[in-house]
Structure 1
Amino acid sequence: MLLNYYCVAVAVAVGAASGIFSVRWLRAGLRSGRVVGRAAGVGLVGTAVLSVGALLITGADGFTLIHVAYVVGTVGVPLAGGIVRLWARPRPRAITAACVIAVAAVPVGVYATYVEPFWLRVDAVGLAVDDVDERIRIGVLADLQTTAVGDYERDATERLLGFAPDIVLVPGDLYQFDAELLDERAPQFTQLIRRIVDDVPLVYLVSGNTDTVAGLRRITARTGARVLDNEIDTFELKGVSVSIGGTTLFGDDAAARRMAKRLAGNGQAGVRILLGHKPDAIELVQATPVDLLVAGHTHGGQVSLPILGPPLTLSSVPRHVAAGGLHELDGTPIYVSTGVGRERGNAPQLRFGVRPSIGIIDLVSAAGDLG
């Protein structure tokens, strides 16, 4: 909370300074280009200097700098444009246009903060798989990444269950809070998992960046859901043998590789699915592809720009893969969920160009019709 207040204070200070100096420069007769350049310089220098305070509050955290930059962009820049628009008279048309563009950041910020993060969509895809005769439906509930279970998380769960999946996969980051809060907050997450298991007995989880194997096992104890810690579970479903291997993000790398090798080379007919938090788990099956890799982690970039796509995905897979959806990489179909939640902690609470999603993956006969 303190960081939020500080970021707003930085944005107001930087925006006011840039706006006031711009008015003075315009009255002194400087050209439009020089005024805009100087205003941008004041904004950048002021933001850089005052970001030191934000880092002192939170420690060295790249998300803190992103947070400061976002608030400056959606509060400070419009404030500067508003000041110039109100008090710089007369002003060139180019400056008026720049002011309009600056103020337009306000609705963008409102949308990215209060609308898109909660505008959940359904990402439904089909995948032809050998040995499948009757459709197998997989529900993906990735990256809830929440501090507490609220109406939004419960609604996302109910929406997923409404599609009657046969299997539900949770590829990590179920929660995001300090470990000492686990005992207090685990029951609400247990209730959520139990609700899923009531409808879909086959529920599998792996740990991610913000949760742990121990924490997930505490949450899922006696629910029937299973946390896979570099382990494989095999079962029969609709006449097909299904093997699901789960890789632990910060676990034993050698154990993860052995598990993936067993999963890919089990020598049995059926469906082989690798569940990992990061799509980078594709490295485990480069030499021995499986039928499907399911991952989350990237949030689709959480911000995606037109044409350019997501500037940041925190993954080594190609950006178009990390952006979300079903792709093929190294011979393995890979599904990357854009996730239900968003980055917490010191990060700005936003989504832009990447709506949150639940995933529905239909595995169908390779001889059938995906439509």
Structure 2
Amino acid sequence: MSLLLAPVIGAGAVSTLFEVVRCRPCSDALCKGRVVKQFFKYAGVGLLIFLGFVLAWGLIEPRYLAVENEEVAIVDLPRAWDGQRVAQLSDWQIGMWLDNPDTAEDAAEVIIEERPAAVMLTGDFVYHRGDEEDRVEQFGKVSEVLRPLVDSGIPTYAVLGNHDYAAEKPDSKLDRELARTVTRTLRRAGVTVLFNEAVPLRPPTNAPANGPDELLYLVGVGSHYAKNDDVEGALDDLPRGAPRIAMMHNPDSYARFPARTAPLAVAGHTHGGQIRLPWLPDFSYQTFAKDGDVHVDGWVEDFGEEGNRLYVNRGIGMSLLPIRVNCMPELTMFTLRRAEGEAEPMAVGR
């Protein structure tokens, strides 16, 4: 970026400095006016070049994929799960103009190569309802991404997001037929779709044990915008004190988990802010566009109840504008570690 801007800004600065020195002895208003005009001329050109570079890079960055490797300790994690990995993908937003389903396909290929024990897909598979032709194309692309992932034999689970209900805002009218179509598409591809429920995850066959005491549970919470995130109902599906991971689309659902019921919770929805300031990733367009706290990326501190931990994935796709700046699409790989139970045991469950 600096290489592109240097010739223009440098030439403008030198020229303007020369004019200032030349005009300094006099008080000619016309002379000084030329200096000001010339300064804004070069500053304007430099700004246009900068904005052009940002726009060009913003269209390129969605085609790259960042694989983030995280390690998380879970109290009393079954020994068969110690060292196992689970993957998270979120927010494909297929159907948006200039969308990037190829990046989702690249992420699926990485997952297949890495062979985690399970895959969590945290919603927003499509961008909008569209017309009938749009829907056929959108769901075809969703199936194309899912097919090799499911065919690989890796257990894959999903929850729905707000766009899967065509809800761009919390008060948007819900398209429940679209949500049913998304659900059917996922299930036909072999994905287990969770609606406020918990399912057992069995460790891979190469794990040291594979008995009933070696089960880890996955809790899937419904869409927050659809007012379908029944955390209490989802936790009721768990055996009392069972180790678990929780998945949801919107980070706001995480606040509903009682203390020590979500030692690892994952969400998406925010796209990491999508357009973020270099070296200041906490400042994005969402920081200025939304009221209250904004939880857009990575581990979220000082949010939720004691003993719970939330990770927010940046997602693959985009919203409003088909660009990403300083916010590369993300595939997250979590390595699970066993922590001995010093904390109060997880008490919610049947």
TM exceeding 0.5: yes
Change (3 A) 1:295 1:150: closer
Q: Distance in 2 between matches of 1:140 and 1:257?
A: 20
Q: 2:217 maps to what in 1?
A: 243
Q: 1:359 maps to what in 2?
A: 332
Change (3 A) 1:288 1:126: closer
Relative to the length of structure 1, the TM-score reads 0.66
Give how far 1:199 is off. 2.1
2:95 equivalent to 1:121:
no
3-state SS of 2:164 partner:
coil
Change (3 A) 1:135 1:94: same
- Superposition RMSD on alpha carbons, in Å? 2.9
Residue-pair matches, total: 276
After superposition, residues 11-160 of structure 1 pair within 5 angstroms as 29=30, 94-103=39-48, 104-112=50-58, 114-132=59-77, 133=79, 134-147=82-95, 150-160=101-111
After superposition, residues 1-371 of structure 1 pair within 5 angstroms as 29=30, 94-103=39-48, 104-112=50-58, 114-132=59-77, 133=79, 134-147=82-95, 150-178=101-129, 180=132, 181-212=134-165, 213-237=179-203, 238=207, 239=210, 240-249=214-223, 250-251=225-226, 253=228, 256-262=230-236, 266-270=239-243, 272-305=244-277, 306-307=279-280, 309-312=283-286, 318-319=293-294, 322-328=295-301, 329=303, 330-331=305-306, 332-343=308-319, 347-366=320-339
Q: Distance in 2 between matches of 1:208 and 1:301?
A: 17
Give how far 1:292 is off. 1.2
Change (3 A) 1:316 1:281: farther
What CA deviation, in whole Å up to 9, does each residue of 1:295-354 have, x standing for no partner?
1000011111243622306878843xx2311335323111110011111xxx22111121
3-state SS of 2:199 partner:
strand
Amino acid in the other structure paired with 1:197: V
Change (3 A) 1:169 1:200: farther
3-state SS of 1:211 partner:
helix
- Whether the 8 Å CA contact 1:216–1:227 is kept in 2: the answer is no
Q: Distance in 2 between matches of 1:206 and 1:233?
A: 13
- Whether the 8 Å CA contact 1:294–1:334 is kept in 2: the answer is yes
Change (3 A) 1:244 1:317: farther
- Whether the 8 Å CA contact 1:173–1:209 is kept in 2: the answer is yes
Q: Distance in 1 between matches of 2:180 and 2:91?
A: 17
Q: Distance in 2 between matches of 1:102 and 1:222?
A: 50
Query: Percent identity at matched positions?
Result: 26
Q: Distance in 2 between matches of 1:188 and 1:269?
A: 37
Change (3 A) 1:269 1:232: closer
Amino acid in the other structure paired with 1:214: R
Structure that is richer in helix per residue: 1
- Whether the 8 Å CA contact 2:115–2:154 is kept in 1: the answer is no
Give how far 1:100 is off. 4.3
Moved over 4 A (4+): 28-32, 89-93, 250-253, 313-317
Give how far 1:260 is off. 3.9
Relative to the length of structure 2, the TM-score reads 0.69
Give how far 1:256 is off. 0.7
Q: Unaligned stretches of 5+ in structure 1?
A: 1-27, 33-88
Q: Unaligned stretches of 5+ in structure 2?
A: 1-28, 166-178, 341-350
- Whether the 8 Å CA contact 1:260–1:274 is kept in 2: the answer is no
Change (3 A) 1:317 1:228: farther
Amino acid in the other structure paired with 1:205: A
3-state SS of 2:71 partner:
strand
3-state SS of 1:125 partner:
strand
Q: Which has the higher contact order (CA 8 A, sep 6+)?
A: 2
Give how far 1:31 is off. 6.8
- Whether the 8 Å CA contact 1:171–1:208 is kept in 2: the answer is yes
Change (3 A) 1:223 1:235: same
Q: Distance in 2 between matches of 1:171 and 1:274?
A: 10
Q: Distance in 1 between matches of 2:242 and 2:108?
A: 32
- Whether the 8 Å CA contact 2:94–2:100 is kept in 1: the answer is yes
